[in-house]
Structure 1
Amino acid sequence: MATRQHAKMAFLQWSCQDVARWIESLGYPQYTACFTENFITGKKLIYINCCYLPRLGITDFEHMKAISARVRELLGISEPLWSRSIADPPQDDMNMFLEVKSRTGESADSLTYTQFLNYRKK
């Protein structure tokens, strides 16, 4: 299980060029510069959604929806419910784990999903 989880999180180590190649593999080679010029690494992919993509220069709504969906698929997270109140506490452990993993530093780099879940139970 730990090896499978580690393999699933391999994207966190991606460079800007790795992310650009992934975007190109999705069929959007016209956006590779948007990602490299904005230094979007694997860790920063965690924050990519339809609200953030226009800041990168991606404004085609259908492309935004498709890229956001593929990012969520890569991260293994579901689309947030549109009816969810921002006052509600975060519900998805994976989203919260990925936010921690997006940080830099030894503690974020070494944290495993199992360790995160054990810490959350306390």
Structure 2
Amino acid sequence: MEPQVPGCLRWSCRDVGGWIRRKGFPQYEVIAQLVRDLLGVTEPSWNRSISLPRRDNMGLFLEQKSQTGHNHDLLIYNQFIKEQGL
């Protein structure tokens, strides 16, 4: 029998924002959107079709940078672009 997957793993960005607001931190609900606006990237769509064009370079870089580990900590945008051939 498979272990039950927590429902929060299927939450949308809006669901997470609602949870943050209900926990008493409404000021943090908008931070992700403000950062995306600052960097000029769109909100990731987790049910995005693979037939669509690739995501923007900054979005791809931030996905790599968001991971933990020594190599990810040292990664810079220009290096990422060069290594990916973008």
TM-score (norm 2): 0.55
Rounded Cα–Cα distance in structure 1 between residues aligned with 2:79 and 2:66: 16
Correspondence for 1:58? 21
Relative contact order, CA 8 A, sep 6+: which one is greater? 1
Q: Which structure 2 segments of 5+ residues have no match?
A: 1-12
What SS does the corresponding residue of 2:21 show, helix, strand or coil? coil
Q: Tell me how many residue pairs correspond in the alignment.
A: 66
**Structure-2 change in CA distance of 1:71 and 1:121 (3 Å):** same
Q: Flag the structure with larger Rg.
A: 2
The question of 1:112 aligning with 2:83 is answered no
Measure how far apart 1:51 and its partner are.
Answer: 4.6
2:66 to 102, 106, 114: 102
The question of 1:79 aligning with 2:42 is answered yes
Measure how far apart 1:121 and its partner are.
Answer: 0.7
**Structure-2 change in CA distance of 1:52 and 1:114 (3 Å):** same
- Give me the identity figure in percent: 28
Question: Over the residues paired in the alignment, what is the CA RMSD in angstroms?
Answer: 3.2
**Structure-2 change in CA distance of 1:51 and 1:99 (3 Å):** farther
Q: Which structure 1 segments of 5+ residues have no match?
A: 1-48
Tell me which protein shows more helix as a share of its residues.
1
Rounded Cα–Cα distance in structure 1 between residues aligned with 2:74 and 2:56: 21
